[in-house]
Amino acid sequence: MKQNNFIKIITLLLLLSCGITMAQSVNLWRGTEVKANWSDAYKWRLRHVPSKKEAVHFRQPNSVVVIDRTIDLNNNMMLYGQELSFLGNGNINFWSPVETLSTIYIPASASGYANLTLHDTVSIKGGVALAAKAFGTAASKGTITLRDRSTIKGKLLIGNDGNGTGQVFVYDQAVYTISDLDLQTEAEKGGSAELHILGGTVHFSTGTNPLQIFLGDSSRKIIIGEGGALNIQSSASVEKKKKLLIQMLKNKTLRVMPNCKFRLPVFQGSMILLKAERSDSPEQLHVLVEKIKNIQAITEVPETGLESANNSAKGGLNTGTFASYIAFSGILLLLLRPVTRRVPARSQ
């Protein structure tokens, strides 16, 4: 009996110890909209800069944090406020998901460079704004990088009253789903908005036509590399989308990385799918334009097949998705055969 009581006491103490440890694993930022340095120990509830084993919480409505080095966050970062802004000249590596309904601002300072990097399976569900705060200038620069199988879904805002430079880099099997796009950059004011799809997939599922937004100013560019895919959802007619696509190519708003060329775009329902492949002899612009003009929209592919292909592009590697993607690819090739008889075999 005494032994059982002893075991119960020990178990209770262990549970209490675990509870205390879990409570101490959260390090709360105590700064406000007045900028403060990440390295300032007194701005953290536990009186030290968060360790790799601690979760970082931001509960103020607006928090402005200056970073001047590389920071690795292995545990969750929770955003309870409306805005979180990173200034300075540094990089934050996320190694775990970020739960947020807030907007993460990465504007840097006038002479700084702030970057946010998402690594394997890390996800952000919320808005991201690059060089978009009032204190941003033409010299301010903010970037976000998606690697491995990381994902972001939400609004993307770049620029502030024409100023600021914002860049997005997508690699590997990462997926960026842009549900709302707001580009405010202007070339005359020194602003720049660049989307580099060097792998993975970028989905535009915005209410407005993203092609028209990128054509709004020469400071806005989409660059696609080998292995990258751009999926654009637009309710505009196929002919309208062709004209916008051709205009982007002529204005160099849409381009490929060096030693690459465009594959022939695919038009399916409201979707445009753009990819690039490696090539030592890029196709001439007028040849690509003529091919795009002659593309016929694909309407016979089942919607379920299209959804499976999109899911595969998003990095879903389960057996069912992969099989659906293979089936979709086979149907797609068969449907394209009549087109390729009338169009030169080389495509860009």
Please report the pLDDT score of residue 4 as a whole number: 62
> Which residues are bridge partners to 29 per DSSP?
44, 58
Beta-bridge partners for 123: 151
Q: Give the span between the Cα atoms of 338 and 329, in whole angstroms.
A: 16
259: how many CB neighbours lie within 10 A of its CB? 12
Q: What is the dihedral of CA 282, 286, 291, 292, to 10 degrees?
A: 100
Q: Which two tokens stand for residue 29?
A: 């930022």
- Say if strands 83-94 and 62-67 run parallel, antiparallel, or are unpaired: parallel
pLDDT at 345: 38
Q: Measuring CA to CA, how many Å separate 12 from each of 1, 25, 158? A: 17, 20, 52
Query: Which 8-state DSSP code applies to residue 294?
Result: T
Least confident of 26-30, 69-73, 211-215, 228-232: 69-73
Whole-angstrom CA distances from 306 to 37, 178, 197, 210 are 47, 19, 21, 21
Read off the pTM: 0.75
122, exposed or middle or buried, with CB in 10 Å at 0-12, 13-18, 19+?
buried
* Secondary structure of residue 316 in the 3-state scheme: coil
What angle (nearest 5°) sits at the alpha carbon of residue 190, between those of residues 135 and 192?
90
Reported as a single tens digit per residue, the pLDDT across 256-270 is 999 999 999 999 888
Residues 283-321 have pLDDT tens digits of 889 999 999 998 887 754 444 334 443 444 444 334 344
Boundaries of every domain in the chain = 62-300
pLDDT 10s digits, 8-27: 555 555 554 444 444 448 88
Q: Summarize the confidence of residues 214-219 as an average pLDDT.
A: 94
* pLDDT tens digits for range 108-138: 655 566 788 888 888 888 888 898 876 556 6
Report CA torsion sign: 110, 112, 117, 123. Answer: negative
Q: How far is CA 100 from CA 153, 203, 312, 338, in A?
A: 11, 20, 25, 48
CA distance 124 to 154: 8
Integer Rg of the chain from CA: 24
Mean pLDDT of 73-89: 75
